């Protein structure tokens, strides 16, 4: 998790026929790839599988595409969510490693916990099927998913990929990765669709929103905002929910690591129950696992501290401010946090926050910028 993958959650540049469906939406930085199939037997099976999930998750689809095209795309997304990897790249499918019973238990428990946790934000959570989690051989993972990553949630396929090496290394690490990527799935997700002006039966699709992150879905001129903020929010959520996960009755083996006195100096800040205070986890065999996006989270922490200072009559503590950002991740509503940021740092500061990328350098630059903005804001009050 030191080198976290960039989520496949940005714009694609694909056109799609209403009479066919594609296996993937391209993400920024990767060449688009298509696999055309007719609406034959596989589509029939996919619809049968969907019928087992009467309350399928709805994804918002924006853009100028016709309602017919948007409806078709919504159905396609549902098939991806419940079609048991029908759309995955063949090389990825052939390199998949079977999940152990313990790993399946971890995946199911993560989804059970999120169903309850997300409800406090008045959002209904639809569990990600266990078949949508894929442990991939390391060499294929690096080639197909990302050379500098350990795990990823793909908005294009609605699946979580985990590198084999990490999955075998430690159930504790596996649980942390699965939780982080599932939190990306739990986010507000919206796609964009634009009809092909030369053929109304075709449309271009891509990501529009993923949590607080936003992007253009017009492909060649695509751009993204709030990527760094989005990862900071997800990782802070991960820290909070991981403490619940460790304390869950079904996670006894993981919890026993922290109950054993011989690991007292290796707990990485996790208590049971408790709060994940450290910037790393240390597994049962003593391996270190860094908590990612440190600088991005430092920016978020500073912003929450200053917002609390400005609004002590509204919020009980800094943590209550952070929960406003958590809520935005699940609901997609940014107006409330935009007002809070600009109310503490001045007009235009939320747009500046949107420029923060996921890397440490960008995080540091934005931390310095927000410190300056805060000083200037106080002077002009």
pLDDT tens track of the chain, all 381 residues?
333 323 333 333 333 333 322 222 223 222 233 222 223 334 444 444 444 444 578 899 998 899 999 998 888 888 888 765 567 788 888 999 999 999 999 999 999 999 999 999 999 999 999 999 999 999 999 999 988 888 999 988 899 999 998 888 778 889 989 999 999 999 999 998 888 888 888 888 888 999 999 987 655 556 789 999 999 999 999 989 988 887 888 776 666 655 555 545 544 444 443 344 556 665 555 666 678 899 999 999 999 999 999 999 999 999 999 999 999 999 999 999 999 999 999 999 999 999 999 999 999 999 999 999 999 999 987
- CA distance linking residue 65 with residue 205, whole number of Å: 9
- CA distance linking residue 153 with residue 133, whole number of Å: 9
- CA distance linking residue 351 with residue 273, whole number of Å: 38
Residues in the chain, total: 381
Tokens 């853009």, located at residue: 63
**pTM of the shown model:** 0.82
Dmax over CA atoms of the chain, in Å, equals 69
Considering only CA atoms, give the Rg of the chain. 21
To which H or E segment does residue 159 belong?
Answer: strand 159-163
Burial category of 307 from C-beta neighbours within 10 Å (exposed 0-12, middle 13-18, buried 19 and up): buried
Please answer whether residues 155 and 26 qualify as being in contact, where contact means their C-beta atoms are separated by less than 8 angstroms: no
Please answer whether residues 31 and 14 qualify as being in contact, where contact means their C-beta atoms are separated by less than 8 angstroms: no
Half-sphere exposure of 108 (CA within 13 A, CB side): 10
* Secondary structure (3-state) at 157: coil
Around Cβ 342, how many Cβ atoms within 10 Å?
A: 17
Provide, for the chain, the percentages of residues in helix, strand and coil under a 3-state DSSP scheme, each rounded to the nearest 5. Answer: 50, 15, 35
- CA distance linking residue 5 with residue 146, whole number of Å: 6
Around Cβ 143, how many Cβ atoms within 10 Å?
A: 14
**What's residue 35's pLDDT?**
27
First-to-final CA distance of the chain = 42
- CA distance linking residue 366 with residue 375, whole number of Å: 14
- CA distance linking residue 188 with residue 315, whole number of Å: 24
- CA distance linking residue 178 with residue 152, whole number of Å: 9
**What's residue 10's pLDDT?**
30
Please answer whether residues 230 and 332 qualify as being in contact, where contact means their C-beta atoms are separated by less than 8 angstroms: no
């Amino acid at each position: 998790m030191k080198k976290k993958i960039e989520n496949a959650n940005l714009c694609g540049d694909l056109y799609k026929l209403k009479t066919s469906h594609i296996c993937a939406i391209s993400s920024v930085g990767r060449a688009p790839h298509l696999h055309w199939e007719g609406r034959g037997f596989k589509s029939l099976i996919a619809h049968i599988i969907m019928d087992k999930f009467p309350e399928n998750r709805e994804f918002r689809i924006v853009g100028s595409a016709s309602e017919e095209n948007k409806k078709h795309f919504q159905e396609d997304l549902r098939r991806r969510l419940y079609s048991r990897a029908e759309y995955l790249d063949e090389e990825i499918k052939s390199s998949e490693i079977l999940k152990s019973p313990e790993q399946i238990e971890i995946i199911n428990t993560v989804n059970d916990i999120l169903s309850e946790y997300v409800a406090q934000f008045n959002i209904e959570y639809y569990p990600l099927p266990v078949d949508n989690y894929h442990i991939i051989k390391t060499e294929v993972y690096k080639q197909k998913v990302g050379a500098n990553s350990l795990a990823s949630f793909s908005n294009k396929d609605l699946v979580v990929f985990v590198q084999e090496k990490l999955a075998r290394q430690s159930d504790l690490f596996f649980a942390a990765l699965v939780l982080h990527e599932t939190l990306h799935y739990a986010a507000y997700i919206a796609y964009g669709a634009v009809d092909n002006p030369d053929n109304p039966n075709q449309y271009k699709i891509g990501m529009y929103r993923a949590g607080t992150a936003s992007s253009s879905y017009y492909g060649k001129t695509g751009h993204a905002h709030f990527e760094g903020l989005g990862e900071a929010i997800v990782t802070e959520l991960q820290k909070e929910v991981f403490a619940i996960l460790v304390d869950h009755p079904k996670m006894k083996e993981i919890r026993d690591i922290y109950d054993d006195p011989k690991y007292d100096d290796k707990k990485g800040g996790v208590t049971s129950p408790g709060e994940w205070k450290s910037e790393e986890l240390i597994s049962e065999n003593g391996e270190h696992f860094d908590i990612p996006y440190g600088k991005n989270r430092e920016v978020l922490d500073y912003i929450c501290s200053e917002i609390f200072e400005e609004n002590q009559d509204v919020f009980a503590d800094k943590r209550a401010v952070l929960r406003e950002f958590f809520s935005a991740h699940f609901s997609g509503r940014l107006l409330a946090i935009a007002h809070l940021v600009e109310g503490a740092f001045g007009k235009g500061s939320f747009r500046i926050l949107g420029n923060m990328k996921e890397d440490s350098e960008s995080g540091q630059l934005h931390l310095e910028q927000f410190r300056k903005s805060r000083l200037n804001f106080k002077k002009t009050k």
